[in-house]
Chain A
């Protein structure tokens, strides 16, 4: 769910939400969700998205178990096939 900018600012200041950056838009999400749940809630296919949490690439094997820490900055990078 897209929230107001004020809440994004609050989250950046260390509030109890994480920030998902997708296509350069910031979206606040409630904490205590796994990466898998977050991606599904945004309509993204977890097997085609790379995730960085606070700058660190997360192994795809751990998307279902990795709980996003409060205040973390999550960046999603979707890719498509073909080469």
Chain B
């Protein structure tokens, strides 16, 4: 009898399944971009996700982040791991409940093939890019910038800005000024996850 795991990915190109299964992708931040990107990548069958975030689930997160009412108060990485295990129990989810900074980023993400940047503040985005490009210039970094508000579907795009750094989003709507809402946040998270798949599968 076919296993549940095989059945779950029976619609995929058979050549894709093992490549994704052995892939290791890091996600820095487990808020709007991070939780949604993680769901997409787990659903696609990426075998290992390394997740880090210091925050806990709050009621105001639920308008855009992939958490549930009964998870309010839980560390986001723990709630996210629980949700990912319900979606795809055949992947591994390595979680770190801590604040990422210049010193711990290289050690936590040393064994991933690429990193999805999902931080809230510009300051942290820039810090991550600087740290990543210096330490892992050969590994892709997929940054989110411009996720706020609603509408503007066709302003959202992916651009390789230099080396292996990609930026997804409209790069204009600032969440400090415009409140972020579920569809556009998930749209940009999907661009990041889809870019990750493209890079993972380009040498298939």
Contacts and interface: CB of A to CB of B under 8 A. Distances in A.
A64 interface: no
A47 B29 CA distance: 20
B126 interface: yes
B189 to A, nearest CB: 9
A83 B119 CA distance: 5
Interface in B159-204: 161-162, 167, 169, 171-176, 180, 185
Q: Range of interface residues on chain A?
A: 10 to 19
Interface string B97-137: 00000000000000000000111111101100110011000
B147 interface: yes
B162 A47 contact: no
A57 B144 contact: no
Interface residues of B, number: 36
A82 B32 CA distance: 8
B148 interface: yes
A26 B204 CA distance: 38
A52 B165 CA distance: 13
Contacts of A6: none
Interface in B1-60: 29, 31-34
20 contacts: A47-B122, A50-B129, A52-B162, A57-B129, A57-B134, A77-B167, A79-B122, A79-B167, A79-B171, A80-B145, A80-B146, A80-B172, A81-B122, A81-B175, A82-B120, A82-B147, A82-B175, A83-B33, A83-B34, A83-B144
Given A80-B175, A82-B32, 13 more contacts: A47-B123, A55-B162, A57-B133, A77-B161, A80-B146, A80-B172, A80-B173, A80-B174, A80-B176, A81-B121, A81-B176, A82-B173, A82-B180
